């Protein structure tokens, strides 16, 4: 346990120094996310219903960006990290030494959640300038935390699938780009399912991604649900766990395949 803690702290320290301090990743990252938020928000303000409540509209935009930021962390921090491990030779070391991936990801998880938190702070500040401060009232803390846990578990499974694809194909840039930007829209991550067309709503409910987003929006904004709360809690919990377990099996299968056939070269 002590050895595991030391490895986790070593990874955490290395990523803080390399990504946030030396490369000024924190500064440039917040600048980039601020510009993206402005480009995302301005069309909303231009085409919004004049009679809509600015505070509620700002809160809807904030919630959509929050879900998208979690998708981005799962895509670029968790899944794409496999590509950098392969290119740097770390993946072969973890396999050969038998140390596994757990210490590495326990070390980078705090970086991911810190980045999401800082980005949400920048989002709140910019929305306050462009629109009005988002009116965020957590109506049900238990439901909110349950939805947050479901979102993290689901996105861990999603990252395992992308990571396994990188191991298998050697490059998954197109897949990452497609899923990272299409999934949040197609599964109700950016807007309530009740506002989606019926066919797209049915598709979203067949994926595990829609349920945590619906719970988070309902607990923060009180938006109407397409199913009752009990059904979303039940289906979302079962779906997320099954999805995570299947994703884990898929990743392990791809890892065993790499051990038999060798490591694929990846594009930087």
Using DSSP, how many helices (H) and how many strands (E) does the chain show?
11, 0
pLDDT given for residue 196 in this prediction:
81
The C-alpha atoms of residue 137 and residue 82 are separated, in whole angstroms, by 38
> Within a domain: residue 82?
yes
> Within a domain: residue 266?
no
Residue 19: band (very low, low, confident or very high) from pLDDT cuts 50, 70, 90: low
pLDDT given for residue 21 in this prediction:
54
> Within a domain: residue 213?
yes
Query: Which residues form the domain of 246?
Result: 2-261
> Within a domain: residue 98?
yes
Residue 206: band (very low, low, confident or very high) from pLDDT cuts 50, 70, 90: confident
Give the tens place of pLDDT for each residue, 161-183: 888 888 777 655 566 666 666 77
**Global pTM exceeds 0.85:** no
Domain count, the chain: 1
The token pair that represents 139 in the structure block: 């109506």
**Closest by Cα among 56, 63, 236 to 152:** 236
The rounded mean pLDDT for the chain is 78
| 122 dihedral zone (left: phi>0; alpha: psi -120 to 50; beta) | alpha
The C-alpha atoms of residue 89 and residue 57 are separated, in whole angstroms, by 47
Residue 237: band (very low, low, confident or very high) from pLDDT cuts 50, 70, 90: very high
pLDDT given for residue 106 in this prediction:
78
Average pLDDT, stretch 156-161? 88
The answer to whether 86 and 266 are in contact (CB under 8 A) is: yes
> Within a domain: residue 185?
yes
Residue 96: band (very low, low, confident or very high) from pLDDT cuts 50, 70, 90: confident
> Within a domain: residue 267?
no
């Amino acid at each position: 346990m002590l050895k595991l803690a030391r490895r986790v702290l070593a990874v955490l320290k290395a990523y803080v120094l390399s990504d946030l301090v030396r490369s000024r990743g924190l500064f440039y990252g917040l600048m980039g996310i601020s510009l993206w938020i402005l480009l995302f928000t301005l069309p909303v303000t231009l085409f919004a219903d004049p009679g809509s409540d600015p505070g509620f509209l700002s809160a809807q935009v904030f919630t959509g960006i929050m879900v998208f930021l979690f998708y981005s962390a799962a895509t670029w921090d968790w899944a794409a990290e496999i590509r950098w491990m392969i290119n740097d030779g770390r993946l072969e070391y973890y396999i050969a030494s038998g140390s596994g991936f757990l210490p590495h990801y326990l070390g980078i998880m705090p970086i991911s959640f810190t980045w999401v938190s800082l980005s949400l702070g920048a989002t709140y500040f910019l929305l306050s300038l462009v629109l009005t401060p988002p009116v965020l009232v957590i109506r049900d803390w238990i439901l909110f935390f349950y939805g947050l846990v479901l979102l993290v578990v689901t996105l861990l499974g999603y990252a395992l699938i992308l990571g396994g694809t990188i191991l298998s194909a050697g490059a998954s840039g197109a897949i990452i780009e497609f899923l990272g930007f299409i999934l949040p829209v197609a599964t109700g991550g950016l807007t309530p399912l009740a506002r989606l067309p019926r066919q797209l709503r049915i598709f979203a409910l067949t994926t595990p991604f829609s349920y945590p987003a619906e719970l988070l929006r309902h607990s923060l904004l009180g938006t109407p649900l397409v199913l009752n709360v009990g059904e979303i809690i039940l289906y979302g919990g079962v779906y997320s766990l099954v999805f995570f377990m299947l994703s884990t099996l898929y990743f392990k299968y791809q890892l065993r395949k790499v051990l038999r056939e060798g490591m694929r070269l990846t594009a930087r």
